[in-house]
Structure 1
Amino acid sequence: MTKPQTDGAAMADDRTEALEALISRSVQDGRKPAPVDQWEPQNCRDIGLEIAADGTWTYKGSPITRQRMVQLFSSVLRKDTDGKTYLVTPVEKVLVNVADAHFMAVECASSGSGKTRVLTFRTNVGDLVEAGPDHPLRFEGAEDDGPLKPYLRVRGRLTALATRAVTYQLIEMAEPMTVGDVEVLALHSRGAVFPIAPMDRIEAMAE
């Protein structure tokens, strides 16, 4: 027998549904980010939203399984100068605790080669982003013996972490280059160069 919903649970559901409805009214096109940089609401609250390290959204510890809701929430994300991430609407900000990155880069397509290469990424919420001067790639982990973690700037201060499969794909496409006086393994995209790691570190990692 299904247990009746408690008043607290009902109130929590009402809160997320009300937030979803408010964001829907604020975003004219659910597939495009809203103009969150223009909104400076005074009200701010924490209702228990989190983005896990694998990109899963949770509400009070429970996964949010409705992809439409995740896409809608992601369209009004903003990371502020205080280092915190919020869902931003014209009337309020809602804190979102982020374990690692805001999105996952789940797919990468390459066109061209060498200096003319363009890398286009798809995120887990459907964003398409071309790496380049406005959307740089950075690689962490190579200097401290940790796992190699590529991050792509999606918009503002929001980043996407590449999945393991995409990370391997990027390494396979990378080429040895000289950046300054250092030999590095790096990638071109839209005329920009994105170093992965010094060649001696890459060789040590391969041993």
Structure 2
Amino acid sequence: MDLTRFQQQLKGTSSKTRPLPPVEQWNPDFCGDINLTIALDGRWFYEGSPIGRASLVQLFASVLKREGDKYFLVTPVEKVGITVEDTPFLVTQWHREQGESASDNTYVFTTQTGDIVRLERSDQLKLRVPPKAIQDPEATPIPYLCVRRNLWARLHQNTYYQLLEQADEKPHDAGTQFSIQSNGITFILGEVSN
């Protein structure tokens, strides 16, 4: 699989002004794996070299598809497997939109590829234990955010700590639970033992 040919097939399928391509409707034949990796830190590598063009990363991210535990880049005519070390997205920024009342506030997250996610549904944020390479000694679960379909993002460490500063602390079982309110829904960010 030639990455340049794959890029040519995608011309005109996605931009900031058009909706994402309907990859869930594309079911081309599998063409094999390519040496493309999304690293733990959210950077994309091809043949061991970082992909430096943000627009190219955004284009490839727009045609990312997950089936089971495997990830693919798809066009209407080709499907290639890639390696994802944890999640394809990393939340690097956030802000809170003020509503008419505190319960109307909504947290809005931005990934390293420019995807914007409004935290509005209870199934969008889940606690998971991160990969061994980045977990703390106790393997504490951390928040993961659903970006679209079944593609998730891990919160960057700085983003996570910033959110913890905003969180409500409440006693829970044998420790303290940290949560935020977004769109009137309580989301658990984590727990620590006493």
Determine the C-alpha separation between the residues in 2 that align with 1:99 and 1:89: 22
- Unpaired runs of 5+ residues, structure 1, are 1-11
Residue type at the aligned position of 1:151 = Y
Deviations 1:167-191 (A, max 9, x none): 1111011113589xx9732111122
Pick the structure with greater CA Rg. 1
Structure with the higher fraction of residues in helix conformation: 1
How many angstroms does 1:195 deviate by? 1.1
1:132-154 CA-partner distances (Å, limit 9, x unpaired): 21761223349972366321100
Q: 1:48-101: CA deviations, max 9, x gaps? A: 111000011111211111111101000000111x21011111111111110011
Aligned residues: 184
Note the aligned Cα RMSD (angstroms): 2.6
Q: Is the 8 A contact 2:127 2:141 kept in 1?
A: yes
Aligned partners of 1:186 and 1:196 also within 8 Å? yes
Q: Which residue of structure 1 aligns with residue 8 of structure 2? A: 21
Task: Select 1:151's aligned residue among 128, 144, 151.
Answer: 144
State the match for 1:60 in structure 2.
Answer: 47
Give the TM-score taking structure 1 as reference length.
Answer: 0.79
1:30 to 12, 15, 29: 15
Moved over 4 A (4+): 141-144
3-state SS in 2 of match to 1:168: helix
Per the alignment, residue 88 of structure 2 pairs with 102
AA in 1 matched with 2:82: V
Which structure: greater strand fraction? 2
State the percentage of identical aligned residues: 33
For residues 186 and 147 of structure 1, do their structure 2 counterparts lie closer, same or farther at Cα, with a shift above 3 Å needed?
Answer: same
Q: Which residue of 2 aligns with 1:193?
A: 186
CA contact (8 A) 1:135 1:154 kept: no
Question: Which aligned pairs between 1:107-186 and structure 2 lie closer than 5 A?
Answer: 107-112=93-98, 114-133=102-121, 136-141=124-129, 145-146=138-139, 149-176=142-169, 184-186=177-179
